[in-house]
Amino acid sequence: MLFHVRMDVQLPPAMPAAQADELKKNERELAQSLQRSGKWRHLWRIAGQYANVSMFDVDSVEELHALLMSLPLFPYMKIEVMPMCRHPSSIHESDA
Ligand SMILES: O=C(O)CC1=CCC(=O)O1
Pocket of ligand 1 (CB under 6 A): 7, 9, 27-28, 31, 52, 73
Question: Is residue 96 over pLDDT 70?
Answer: no
If one compares 93 and 75, the residue with the highest pLDDT of the two is: 75
Q: What is the 3-state secondary structure (H, E, C) of the chain?
A: CEEEEEEEECCCCCCCHHHHHHHHHHHHHHHHHHHHHCCEEEEEECCCCCEEEEEEECCCHHHHHHHHHHCCCHHHEEEEEEEECCCCCCCCHHHC
Residues across the chain: 96
Q: Which residues contact 36 (CB under 8 A, 6 or more apart)?
A: none
Instruction: Round to whole Å and give the CA distance between 2 and 32.
Output: 18
Give me the mean pLDDT over the 23-50 stretch: 98
Question: Is residue 12 over pLDDT 90?
Answer: yes
Flag whether 28 is in a domain.
Answer: yes
CATH number reported for the structural domain that contains residue 61 in this entry: 3.30.70.1060
Where does the pLDDT of residue 93 fall: very low under 50, low under 70, confident under 90, or very high at 90 and above? confident
ipTM of the complex: 0.98
Output the pTM of the full model: 0.94
Among protein residues, the one whose CA lies closest to atom 5 of ligand 1: 27
Flag whether 94 is in a domain.
Answer: no
Question: Is residue 95 over pLDDT 70?
Answer: no
Domain count, the chain: 1
Residues of the domain holding 59: 2-87
Q: What pLDDT was estimated at residue 92? A: 84
